[in-house]
Structure 1
Amino acid sequence: MSESQPGPIRRVLVGIWNTVNFTRMLVFNLIFLFILVLVLAAIVASPGVQPLNAKSALVLNLEGVLVEQFSSSPADRVINQATGQAQPEIQLRDLMRAIESAKKDDRIDRIVLLTDGFSAPGFAALRDFAGALREFRASGKQVVAFATNMDQKQYYLAAQADEIYLDPQGGILLEGLGRYRMYYREGLQEKLGVDVHLFKVGEYKSAAEPYVLDGMSPEAREADLYWMGDIWQRFVADIATARKLDPAAVQAMIADLPARVVAAGGDLGKLALQEKLVDGLKTSQEMEALLIERGEEDAENKTFRQIDLAGYLMHSGMPNLVDSRPQVAVVVAQGEITDGDQPPGTVGGESTAALLRQAREDDNVKAVLLRVDSPGGGVFPSEQIRREVELVKAAGKPVVVSMGNVAASGGYWISMNADRIYADESTITGSIGIFGLWMTAPRVLDKLGVTTDGVGTTPLAGAFDPTRPLDPNVGLIIQSVIDKGYADFTGKVAEARDSTPAQIDVHARGRVWSGAQAKDRDLVDELGGFQAALAEAARLAKLEPDAYGVSYIEKPLTPFEQFVVNLGKSSRTEGLLRVLAPTPLLIDRQTLAKVERELAWLDRNGRAPYRAVAHCLCAY
């Protein structure tokens, strides 16, 4: 029996559909080809490496946040930069390499420091940066700083310059250190009916206080003021030394700031000049004219002869691209410590341990420098990384820790077994303590008219159900786990520091210290920045100065990521990306992001019903 033929209407509809489908594919293919042609044309037309002539200024435009390691993929960074969808990031290592190279480069006669839009999460990395600027000046070259406005971290950097200029409409605000947090107890427990149960060891372990209190505990207030006071006194002393001022006079000026602003008629620029915080008030046009007068004019662009950070890094070459010398490998542990394989900017128990393992298995690596900038996180991933540090040492390779802005709680856990621990005087460290949070929500369900009931084969069956009230036996189990975690923490610290758990406990109990205070309590070995720690790692490996290279152990770029990075180096393709990428939402997400970050502890996210946490909410 023959198959029936489709009717005329069906044939017409099928024909229309095929035509539409063909047209759709044709249009999309044409669009794709058009974009591809534009990209290839932009690449071919790319201006390449920025020229560098004699008597040039290295312009460090610091708009962005100072980081140890980029926190997003290379492709994301290029797109974000083109579209303005995320705050730019500046790697400390790039700045240090550029300044060190410029110091010896006869074509560079000065650094121009532009601090508008700059931010830093702490003072330790800032002090490394400032030290590099001072060394540049010591070579006989000039540093000039300019801004429209400056906060105290921006001013800390600017103070290292030979001359500081401020826009006449600008100002400088030195306000002191503050640490204020949101507290959720009333909202969670009174308004929502969530019962929050905190289990911890250490009266100073304050990371989880916002969920059970309405304000700071006396212990948290005492500890925070102690380490903040130390860091603030050092900040004032540093800028006073840099500007040749009396520290007491600077302190008095800050304490009397409201009255002095009023006396200056609200003119913050005039006040900064009066207090000798700056050397002059100039507009950007006047500043440009000054730099043209001191250097050489770029007649084509009608400005002073200059090169930016990205352009100069290309001139100074890629480090360790082909370096057969013995290496000191640098592994960066930046961000919260979490389970599994994590991207840069977050420390993963598996991923960071894998980087250390890679350094251990590389015969050309003779020592490891672990750069820690982390407030901690989960106990288990912290332990995974600590074990790998021990394995690196067991392989005969010395490990030196360089603490950045913060290396507290879990950040200290992954540091404690190093051969030597270096901390900046203004590093935040310590916070040796453990806590756990358990949430139950029967009162929330009561408000909805929902109850929980059932049976179990043992008294503990279903006891970890958060819809039921906390079973006292569950509380005993969790507190016992937390107690063991604290005993493990202090015991491991005692073993690593050649001490006893009882002696470590005196300085532990969750208390936070500055790097200088930690040195006094034998929690770190030496005070110094990245370069000092690097020199120590080379010394322990018996490597002669200038006879070794420094290589960062990181995940290699995929071919696609490398393609996008190369694309972003061209101003033409950057413009193309700006057109093609989506437009960002025009809302301020900072406060929402802060709340989301602090409430992330409430989400179990598939983990065990409870876990021990070594975390410090100690940013400022």
Structure 2
Amino acid sequence: MRSFFKTFFAILLAFVVLIFIGIIILSVMIGKALAPEQLTVDPNSVLVIETSQPYNEMKSVDPVKAILHKGPASTPGLFDVVRLLENAATDDNIKGIYLKADNNVNGFATNEEIRNALLKFKHSGKFIYSYGEAMSQQGYYMASLGDKVYVHPKGGIDFGGFYSQLMFLKGTLEKLEIQPQIFYDGRFKSATEPLRETQMTVANRIQTTAYLGELYSNFLQRIGESRKIDTATLHGYANQGLIQSADDAAKYKLVDGLRYDDQVMDEIKRKLGLSGNDKVNFVSLKDYDNARPIVYKDGDSKIALIYAEGDIKGGDDDNETTISSGNFIKLIRKARQDNSIKAIVFRVNSPGGSALASETIWRELELAKKSKPVVVSMGDYAASGGYYISCMADSIFAQPNTLTGSIGVFGMVFNMENFFKNKLGVTFDGVKTAQYADLGTGSRPMNEVEKRFMQSSVDSIYSTFKSRVVVGRKLSGAVVDSIAQGRVWSGVQAKQLGLVDRIGGIEDAIACAAKLAKVSSYRLREYPESRSAMEKLMKSLGGEADASALKSELGVNYNLYLQVKRIQNMNGEIQARMPYDLDVK
């Protein structure tokens, strides 16, 4: 028997060792597979930028592409794009940019950041050629800055003006016999409006008209500067419906000519001194990112750049497009306690979310501010909870078309009693040890006392929110109350009201932070730290893969699914969140 056990354990040990060695070999193989192929940029190259490419705040990696080596495995983040364009402006191998402009899925402030970087590139003396077959308005917004702007002869440009359309679910809920019990503060706080109205309220129509007008004004102004056409004339083109074809776009000087793709290629060849069957060496932005490691600054001191993108939630969710209070407390605290970090730039791109999580993040930033400068840079949105976590900063930067403010809160509890009973045949019963033990349950309607409890909580949080703004922005309580009320403001409006300090982008915020910290030589330390390709791979095998598959399956309906899911998650928790998902077209 002793001999049997000796043999058994020897075999078991050998088996364990073989598995361990196998894991090491597999890790090395995967590591080599995931290692990016180092690319080079040849002389006389042209950088290609596509307006249809979405850009998050941080670089995104596709680990499957990394393993299979099927094209670039990563997409640069927004600030990566800015830095790559700065590098390209002084790179002798890059002679110009080919801007492929059709659809554009990025937000207004994201487009503004990239467009400004393209203008800086253009000022270096290198060329930008823009071309598209069927340009969306935001695609044309980017394309309009080109030295030459061409459109397909049978294509065209959407130039009909902006509109924002909301979807109201009150009638649907009534048919399902679901009663949303809603509590809110701020007469402009229209986040719950789709659940309690069948059309826009007067207040919501006023605020939407105002900020949509500001977005459109900036749109016309920047295009007018590039095309040398006054904004009144441009507005007239849209208002009279004059741009209906590619010929119209050429007639009214929105483009420099009508071209097919091959004709644009020939013109770029001539610009580069090529001829005949010579090929243009086009380099995608993704490939250029791989070929040119970004070195933004290289000083002794450090400035922390913390990206906060997505909905604000409690807990420790490590999703890169979610701002979870648990994770961000750790990130901010790490930057706060690191003596080599002299200032913090907090990049906020968020429509808000949990009021409690917003307060928790605000607290950690307030502590950081006591030891070093904190500067906020706002992206497409920094509204409601997104503004909550921004208002304490020493200085706040926003783009003219950032949507911010929305200082207000709400809560809701769905009464599902009749839905379960009349639609599904389900009823509920139970016992409790105290009168309000089942407060917030969806199986019955709330009584008047419970409704007062809920409204009192909303009122208290709204009061706290406004007090944070009073202290952070050094405004009187009366002023804050007048500009709060849940109202959404554009970046331009927010600056006029004192909610932000300056109009500018990420680089402006970094420069301000360095100035406040009194450092002239510094480098950036970016958070959250990028996960390795291996970590990305393991993550993609879980929830991220499920989300990607769902997005692919639902297509254009994916955003509707997200809105319904978000409403479900908001049930019972007080929210500092911007009104619905704004869809401006």
Paired position in structure 2 for 1:65: 54
Mark the CA change 1:465 to 1:139 in structure 2 (over 3 Å): closer, same or farther: closer
Indicate if the aligned counterparts of 1:372 and 1:402 stay in contact, CA closer than 8 A: yes
Paired position in structure 1 for 2:543: none
Distance 2:449 2:224 in 1: 58
- 1:444-475 residue CA offsets vs partner (Å, 9 max, x unmatched): 23314444444444332334332122221111
DSSP 3-state at the match of 1:603: helix
Paired position in structure 1 for 2:527: 553
Indicate if the aligned counterparts of 1:273 and 1:279 stay in contact, CA closer than 8 A: yes
* Map 1:235-246 → 2, pairs under 5 A: 235-246=219-230
Matching of residue 149 in structure 1 with residue 134 in structure 2 = yes
Paired position in structure 2 for 1:335: 310
Indicate if the aligned counterparts of 1:422 and 1:529 stay in contact, CA closer than 8 A: yes
Paired position in structure 2 for 1:210: 194
Shift of 1:43: 8.5
Q: Which of 160, 166, 170 is 1:175 aligned to?
A: 160
Q: What's the TM-score once normalised by structure 2's chain length?
A: 0.87
Mark the CA change 1:308 to 1:89 in structure 2 (over 3 Å): closer, same or farther: closer
Shift of 1:61: 3.2
Matching of residue 136 in structure 1 with residue 101 in structure 2 = no
Indicate if the aligned counterparts of 1:382 and 1:413 stay in contact, CA closer than 8 A: yes
DSSP 3-state at the match of 1:437: strand
Mark the CA change 1:523 to 1:253 in structure 2 (over 3 Å): closer, same or farther: same
Shift of 1:316: 2.8
Q: Which of 436, 440, 452 is 1:460 aligned to?
A: 436
Indicate if the aligned counterparts of 1:491 and 1:500 stay in contact, CA closer than 8 A: no
Paired position in structure 1 for 2:321: 345
AA in 2 matched with 1:351: N
AA in 2 matched with 1:272: A
Distance 2:84 2:71 in 1: 26
DSSP 3-state at the match of 1:438: strand
Distance 1:413 1:585 in 2: 32
Shift of 1:387: 1.2
Paired position in structure 2 for 1:18: none
Mark the CA change 1:128 to 1:587 in structure 2 (over 3 Å): closer, same or farther: closer
Distance 2:42 2:404 in 1: 42
Mark the CA change 1:105 to 1:393 in structure 2 (over 3 Å): closer, same or farther: same
DSSP 3-state at the match of 2:525: strand
Shift of 1:111: 1.3
AA in 2 matched with 1:537: A
AA in 1 matched with 2:189: K
Paired position in structure 2 for 1:107: 93
Shift of 1:167: 1.6
Paired position in structure 2 for 1:50: 40
Mark the CA change 1:334 to 1:507 in structure 2 (over 3 Å): closer, same or farther: same
AA in 1 matched with 2:142: L
* Map 1:68-467 → 2, pairs under 5 A: 68-70=57-59, 74-75=62-63, 91-121=77-107, 123-188=108-173, 190-257=174-241, 261=244, 268-297=245-274, 302-319=278-295, 323=298, 325-342=300-317, 343-395=319-371, 397-447=372-422, 448-467=424-443
- 1:508-534 residue CA offsets vs partner (Å, 9 max, x unmatched): 010011111111111111122222211
- 1:311-359 residue CA offsets vs partner (Å, 9 max, x unmatched): 32234324379x5621221111111111122311111111122222222
- 1:364-422 residue CA offsets vs partner (Å, 9 max, x unmatched): 21111111111000011111211111121122x10100111110000000000110011
DSSP 3-state at the match of 1:161: coil
Unaligned runs of 5+ in 1: 1-31, 262-267, 566-580
Distance 2:503 2:225 in 1: 19
Matching of residue 502 in structure 1 with residue 486 in structure 2 = no
Distance 1:43 1:439 in 2: 47
AA in 1 matched with 2:302: Q
Distance 1:140 1:320 in 2: 22
DSSP 3-state at the match of 1:341: coil
Distance 1:354 1:91 in 2: 22
Distance 1:330 1:235 in 2: 29
Paired position in structure 1 for 2:563: 598
Mark the CA change 1:425 to 1:42 in structure 2 (over 3 Å): closer, same or farther: closer
DSSP 3-state at the match of 2:155: coil
Unaligned runs of 5+ in 2: 1-22, 540-545
Distance 1:125 1:331 in 2: 17
Larger Rg: 1
Indicate if the aligned counterparts of 1:383 and 1:413 stay in contact, CA closer than 8 A: yes
Indicate if the aligned counterparts of 1:65 and 1:90 stay in contact, CA closer than 8 A: no
Shift of 1:602: 4.1
DSSP 3-state at the match of 2:156: coil
Matching of residue 614 in structure 1 with residue 576 in structure 2 = yes
- 1:29-64 residue CA offsets vs partner (Å, 9 max, x unmatched): xxx9xx9999899889x97413421x3222223442
Paired position in structure 1 for 2:498: 522
State the superposition RMSD in angstroms. Answer: 3.3
Paired position in structure 1 for 2:14: none
Once structures 1 and 2 are overlaid, which stretch shifts more, 552-561 or 92-101?
A: 552-561
Mark the CA change 1:181 to 1:89 in structure 2 (over 3 Å): closer, same or farther: farther
Distance 1:80 1:518 in 2: 47
AA in 2 matched with 1:49: L
Mark the CA change 1:52 to 1:224 in structure 2 (over 3 Å): closer, same or farther: same
Indicate if the aligned counterparts of 2:61 and 2:536 stay in contact, CA closer than 8 A: no
Shift of 1:79: 7.9
Indicate if the aligned counterparts of 1:328 and 1:551 stay in contact, CA closer than 8 A: yes
Paired position in structure 1 for 2:5: none
Mark the CA change 1:320 to 1:305 in structure 2 (over 3 Å): closer, same or farther: closer
Distance 1:365 1:196 in 2: 47
Indicate if the aligned counterparts of 1:296 and 1:305 stay in contact, CA closer than 8 A: no
Same amino acid, percent of matched pairs: 32
Distance 1:79 1:229 in 2: 47
Distance 1:372 1:302 in 2: 46
AA in 1 matched with 2:304: A
Shift of 1:443: 1.4
Mark the CA change 1:543 to 1:218 in structure 2 (over 3 Å): closer, same or farther: same
Mark the CA change 1:604 to 1:95 in structure 2 (over 3 Å): closer, same or farther: closer
Distance 2:427 2:551 in 1: 43
AA in 2 matched with 1:424: Q
Mark the CA change 1:559 to 1:282 in structure 2 (over 3 Å): closer, same or farther: closer
Indicate if the aligned counterparts of 1:298 and 1:305 stay in contact, CA closer than 8 A: no
Q: How many residues align?
A: 553
